[in-house]
Structure 1
């Protein structure tokens, strides 16, 4: 089992990061929260990891801290929640926001995440609530979620990269474009994606299907 990697960040292109460890480049899938916390390419980086072994591939998932990895491992224990969906959940919500949704039984907010339907949201609430009872911080509540104003997006290179990353996270192309509406597309790609996910979470964006 590979539990942690320390090396040099070669590149980060959501949802992937590549880390050089003594000449070996490890390709790692990560949440947007982790990717946003990474330094610039060429700098030293350390990630906690989870190795998923399948018949056709060995997949490595990376996390900025042990808390995020812990939540990821709890999520993939739930029936119907695989690693990709778990990463989508971690990308669409901060850890504290997710815990608040579970505590408040806010299935509506959970269904705004890509790949999470009503049944999955209900299952998350029931099963994660029981798991969270053993977490000391579960009773702590966060503040209100942020929102963004509505303006037409400017199609910059950052916009195109952000749109492609949202599609990779599970959103339809038309919905990815809608989620970027009203955002400052001059900001870095990673920040643009995070803003789009936050806007989706507050209900300003919408998804079809």
Structure 2
């Protein structure tokens, strides 16, 4: 079981980061709220890992801290939510904002996430708090509840094409992803900035 990785970043192509550790490259999926905090290529990074085994593949999901991983773990326990949808949720809503959302019963934020309908959103609101509230650090919860922050500020070039591909991997339809990036009208921006701003515009 892989639960933690420390190594050098070889590649970044949202939402995937390739991390080299002891000569082995690990492909790790990360929520955009974590991905945009990564250091530059060839710099060292440390991520907490959730290792998920599927019938036809092995998947690694990475997070900047244990609280983000805990929320991801509890999300995938809910009927109707797989790892890719949990990744999409935490790409649109940071861990801190997620706890605020649950605490304040901000149901409307969830239904704006692609792939989340009313049924799944209501299931999350009902089930998630009791499941994970005791597994999150008290100091982190207090910080979240006392915070007044809004959804994370998300800081046909190659960057635009990569951003569209990144949005598609997060659950958006190709035409929808293309429109989201086109509407930003920021051809000079890099891929990570485009994805962050596109996600922000949907909330």
TM-score band, normalised by shorter chain: 0.7 to 0.9
Distance 1:96 1:64 in 2: 12
* CA offset digits 1:4-56 (Å, max 9, x no partner): 11111110111211111111111111111221111111111111101112232
Number of the residue aligned with 2:108: 108
Number of aligned pairs? 195
Structure 1 segment 43-122 matched on structure 2, within 5 A: 43-122=43-122
Structure 1 segment 150-169 matched on structure 2, within 5 A: 155-169=156-170
Q: Which has the higher helix share?
A: 2
Contact 2:11 2:18 in 1 (8 A): yes
Distance 1:133 1:58 in 2: 28
Structure 1 segment 136-175 matched on structure 2, within 5 A: 136=138, 137=141, 139-145=145-151, 155-175=156-176
Distance 1:32 1:86 in 2: 12
* CA offset digits 1:83-120 (Å, max 9, x no partner): 11110001011122222222232322211111111100
Number of the residue aligned with 2:197: 195
Contact 1:146 1:199 in 2 (8 A): no
- SS for the counterpart of 1:102 is helix
Number of the residue aligned with 1:5: 5
Structure 1 segment 15-30 matched on structure 2, within 5 A: 15-30=15-30
When normalised by structure 2's length, the TM-score is 0.87
- SS for the counterpart of 2:122 is helix
Gaps of 5+ in 2: none
Greater relative CO, 1 or 2 (CA 8 Å, sep 6+): 2
